[in-house]
Structure 1
Amino acid sequence: MKSLVLAGGSGTRLRPITHTSAKQLVPVGNKPVLFYGLEAIAAAGITDVGIVVGDTAAEVEEAVGDGSRFGIKVTYIRQEAPLGLAHAVLIARDFLGDDDFLMYLGDNFIVGGVTSVVREFQADRPDARVLLTRVPDPSRFGVAELDADGRVVRLEEKPAHPKSELALVGVYLFTSAIHDAVREIKPSGRGELEITDAIQWLIDRRLDVRTTTITGYWKDTGDVEDMLEANRTVLEGLTPDVLGTVDDASQIVGRVRVEEGAVVRGSRIVGPVVVGAGTVVTDSYIGPFTSVSDNCRIHDSEIEFSIVLSDASITGVHRLEASLIGRTVQVTPAPRVRSAHRLVLGDYSKVQIAS
């Protein structure tokens, strides 16, 4: 069995971060989202992995390499434009051959991995198996409509009026039957070949399409709020350790990990928090659910429930929360502007001005 991982796309909901970085490489818990997916694939026993890349191909290839660090072998497949998930299957035909495969969206985050659903698929070998989960706003996703027996009868991509609250999680399992489907469907109104249309093609021809509804944690980390929530989830399982230097004037409270080479002086850190290697924190407060990446500088500032990417600096800022700070960003106080009142008053006026 092979795996096809999608790591292209423009990441419009994470701009401006994704103007200069692949959305799949934005870290949660100081590790790129994509890496969690690759680790889950390897844990399921799949070692032959194709990664579909787009404009950020060079960055993804530099980060992942040949895949050996994850225990997998990686083949890169270039998608010239983001033309849809089914298009990614179409252009990966030579890599996939006639093998069964797991398709995994590289910006998805699933707690608990995919081993059990892979084992289930390998045992039963339906033509397709899709993962579903209940969401409060299904119009943002592909939506599944099930019949009274729990069989999927219709899939719709980002419907204005969803028929159910069951959204498709970004994990799909296919036999080679899907290749006929992606060749037959037409582009949607968005100009993309939709994987939901391809799966619907299978359903309409009475092929065996099954579903698994997951109740565990899943996030499509496509926007800042979801990214921060995924970061919170990762940090809840953080193993505390102080590998760097923390002086006697500092307080470390709760689950805090200070990586090797990091320095904390005169500061209070309340976990769960991770402080990356080479980062220096002085005279500051870092509150719960914050990930600070490598080689950052935080001085005389307060921050919590946030993600700070590598080489960023935050100085003299009170206070930051629910923030995503990009690489090599500098955050400082705005210069103070002297306020003044301009008055034109008639005779015998009485004016009160708050000081």
Structure 2
Amino acid sequence: MQRFSQNSKTKKPGQQPLRIIRLQINLFNPTTPLLFDIMKSLILAAGEGLRLRPITETIPKVMIPLAGTPIIEYVVNALVKNGITDISIVVGYKKEAVMDHFGDGARFGAKISYVFQERQLGTAHALLVSQSALEGESEFLVLGGDNVIFAETLYSLLESSCHAPALLAKNEPHNVSQYGAVTLKGKNLVEKLDEKPRNSDGALISLGIYKFNGSVFDVAKRCVGRGELTIPHIIRELTTQKFGVRAVVTDGAWMDVVYPWDMLKVNGELMSSLLGSTAGTIEEGVVIKGNVEIGRGSTIRSGSYIVGPVRIGAGCDIGPCAYVSQSTLIGDNAAIGPFSCIKNSLVGSDSKIGSGCRISDSIISQGAAIGSNSSNTSGPCRIEVGNTYEKAELFGFLAGEDVVIGDGVVAREGTILGRGCNVAPLKVIQGTIPSNARVI
């Protein structure tokens, strides 16, 4: 890495000070150097993810693994691949999970520091408490840690000629009502950002990825003082100022997980690019088709049939005569019993699924135990989330951490079992069952 700047003695009267720029190898086209102003980034990762309960009762949303990688790690990798290695992460809820995973960042090719947001009051407040971590930076990135992105997505903003303040947007009209509408005036000037638009015709969605400079902290202070606690509040005030806010439109990948069933969809998209590898023991008579990754110390027992994309973690015991397929992710030290069938599901670490089970389109959290001959139905359903009901196009059931389900249980589509629930054998369950409940 090299820095270039012109000696201040050569600056002409009235000339704007020259910015320090950085020469960085372009990972997407190594023959072309990148010239980026951005030296530092701030990842917002303090929230819980209430709509993902009971999964987020024990880990923050940013640490949910998809295709075997925590969501926030995709964000860190995207920054590092663009040469932005000085990263601050705002942590709060279950902060130890994030800090233990990343440490000082050296393992990920980054230098990572942490900002503590003791009370999760909103993203504008998170930005304000991070001011000292960003002092001295002419421009910096601010982005959420709970969306899956790739290097190409950030590159769209970094290589654009738009100076701060700027935001990254995407043309996805069917999602505007869920993420907020960005309306432009002219080519790229943001006219307004509406979080709950009634009419979204022609609008873009905001990806929650921003380029700011130091002047944003004065605006953040005013917004927080008025009780306006999110970055969209900051953007709305900035649009009224002289230079406004510019939008950069990207066609790069951006995936959001709002509800548990979104985890299955995003995991499936990520698994489509899985490269197969085997580090475990494959017994005689096993059939493996497609891209299948098998972790070290795992055993796939005779007669089992695995159709990729499938990822099986380390230390797992699968079969004999088990069937696993369709973007299934199995965590470390999990066990799938004989003659069980697992399709399009997330099976957490240290979980156990007995013999003869039929599990599809479902999430089995860490440490859960499913008795033999249990099964689920799946399909479109409406699921209680907080005080509302949300529609899932396709979902089976969710078993929270350390759930115990007896033999012969049937879970109807849309069933949510909270952490630590215990279900007696031969029951038919449906609806939302709170944590630590017993079904007898």
Report SS of the residue matched to 1:238: coil
Partner of 1:169: 207
Contact 1:83 1:192 in 2 (8 A): no
Q: Which residue, 224, 238, 260 being the options, matches 2:296? A: 260
Contact 2:348 2:365 in 1 (8 A): yes
Is residue 273 from structure 1 mapped to residue 310 from structure 2 by the alignment? yes
Partner of 1:15: 53
C-alpha distance in 2, partners of 1:223/1:113? 26
- Larger CA deviation: 61-70 vs 138-147: 138-147
Partner of 1:144: 182
Q: Which residue, 284, 295, 315 being the options, matches 2:354? A: 315
Partner of 1:47: 85
Q: CA deviation at 1:198?
A: 0.5
C-alpha distance in 1, partners of 2:77/2:231? 24
Specify whether residues 16 and 324 from structure 1 end up closer, same or farther in structure 2 by C-alpha distance, changes over 3 A only: same
Contact 2:168 2:250 in 1 (8 A): no
Specify whether residues 132 and 178 from structure 1 end up closer, same or farther in structure 2 by C-alpha distance, changes over 3 A only: farther
In the TM superposition, 1:10-159 aligns within 5 A as 10-99=48-137, 100-121=139-160, 123-159=161-197
Partner of 1:342: none
Letter in 2 for 1:198: I
Letter in 1 for 2:48: S
Partner of 2:5: none
C-alpha distance in 1, partners of 2:153/2:251? 13
- Larger CA deviation: 129-138 vs 48-57: 129-138
C-alpha distance in 2, partners of 1:82/1:237? 35
Contact 1:24 1:106 in 2 (8 A): yes
Letter in 2 for 1:305: N
Q: CA deviation at 1:160?
A: 5.3
Q: CA RMSD in A?
A: 2.0
C-alpha distance in 2, partners of 1:132/1:187? 31
Letter in 1 for 2:353: I
Specify whether residues 223 and 187 from structure 1 end up closer, same or farther in structure 2 by C-alpha distance, changes over 3 A only: farther
Contact 1:309 1:327 in 2 (8 A): yes
C-alpha distance in 2, partners of 1:64/1:251? 37
Is residue 193 from structure 1 mapped to residue 229 from structure 2 by the alignment? yes
Task: Encode CA deviations 1:217-262: one digit per residue, 9 max, x unaligned.
Answer: 3211222232222211211111111111111121101111111111
In the TM superposition, 1:277-296 aligns within 5 A as 277-282=314-319, 283-296=321-334
Which structure's relative contact order is higher, taking Cα pairs within 8 Å and 6+ residues apart? 1
Report SS of the residue matched to 1:197: helix
Q: CA deviation at 1:186?
A: 4.6
- Count of aligned positions: 334
Letter in 2 for 1:280: D
Report SS of the residue matched to 2:142: strand
Task: Encode CA deviations 1:85-111: one digit per residue, 9 max, x unaligned.
Answer: 111110000001141111121110124
- Structure 1 residue runs of 5 or longer lacking an equivalent are 338-355
- Larger CA deviation: 214-223 vs 304-313: 214-223
Partner of 1:303: 342
Report SS of the residue matched to 1:136: helix
Report SS of the residue matched to 2:239: helix
Q: CA deviation at 1:202?
A: 1.2
Contact 1:50 1:76 in 2 (8 A): yes
In the TM superposition, 1:226-265 aligns within 5 A as 226-265=262-301
C-alpha distance in 2, partners of 1:124/1:323? 43
* TM superposition score normalised by structure 1: 0.88
- Larger CA deviation: 273-282 vs 178-187: 178-187
Task: Encode CA deviations 1:311-342: one digit per residue, 9 max, x unaligned.
Answer: 111113532222122111112233347xxxxx
Q: CA deviation at 1:164?
A: 4.9
Task: Encode CA deviations 1:141-185: one digit per residue, 9 max, x unaligned.
Answer: 132112354431001223455465421113211122221221122
Contact 2:169 2:182 in 1 (8 A): no
